[in-house]
A = this chain, B = another copy of it.
């Protein structure tokens, strides 16, 4: 797989723009747990996931986290280039959830092309709208859904991502994804266990009754 096939407006670029990207495109391999982007401390550029998995999250002053969206193979991220869009007034963090290979278009290069090219600007718009939609979905979850539904939805999503019903994950990690405390998650998981929906053992959560979890 090459970069060009991950960038849907490639064929609408001029030859000079294609050359500029080809000449400046960075590739980066990061191991699981690496911080790929750290708020407004840096302007990373436009990220494209070649293979792997990234997690974007926000951080409270007290260090609590909440996952905003995830990125998989061939996904693009424009918020890591937030410095090139003046009106983005918030900070996100991005970490690798798996060993990941990335392409990065440097921010100055992307900004120049976006300013010249209506197709690239409109594509950037669509990317931002996708992130925005993820956040709106999350906010609706937080506002209107109780924690049992959020934990159930998270477990089912993880199973789908990992392709297994036996998740290697700690209660702390689940709490960070959902922006709550470990104790809240532990209480909920024990409640699910007593209902026969899941089985808990050290560092793993096994889904026993997917239908009942989905019904939640």
A125 within 8 A of B: yes
A157 / chain B contacts, CB cutoff of 8 Å: none
Q: Which of A61, A116, A130 has the most CB of B within 10 A?
A: A130
A133 lies within 8 A of B179 (CB) = no
- Whether A143 touches B144, Cβ cut-off 8 Å, given contacts A86-B126, A90-B137, A129-B128, is no
A87 / chain B contacts, CB cutoff of 8 Å: 126-127, 129-130, 133
One digit per residue, 1 when the CB lies within 8 angstroms of any chain B CB and 0 when it does not, for chain A 91-106 equals 0000000000000000
**Which residues A137-179 have CB closer than 8 A to chain B?**
137-140, 142-144, 179
Q: Which residue of B lies closest to A92 (CB)?
A: B136
A22 / chain B contacts, CB cutoff of 8 Å: none
A86 / chain B contacts, CB cutoff of 8 Å: 126, 129
Q: Which of A61, A126, A144 has the most CB of B within 10 A?
A: A144
Interface size of A as a range:
35 or more
A191 / chain B contacts, CB cutoff of 8 Å: none
Q: Do most interface residues of chain A lie in helix, strand or loop, or is the interface mixed?
A: helix
Q: Which residue of B lies closest to A91 (CB)?
A: B136
A133 lies within 8 A of B64 (CB) = no
- Whether A142 touches B143, Cβ cut-off 8 Å, given contacts A90-B137, A128-B132, is yes
Q: Which of A115, A122, A128, A135 has the most CB of B within 10 A?
A: A122
- Whether A142 touches B144, Cβ cut-off 8 Å, given contacts A87-B133, A122-B114, A126-B85, is no
B142 lies within 8 A of A139 (CB) = yes
A66 / chain B contacts, CB cutoff of 8 Å: 143
A136 / chain B contacts, CB cutoff of 8 Å: 58, 89-90, 135
A-B contact sample (7 more), CB < 8 A, given A121-B121, A128-B129, A135-B135:
A61-B144, A87-B130, A87-B133, A88-B132, A90-B140, A132-B132, A138-B139
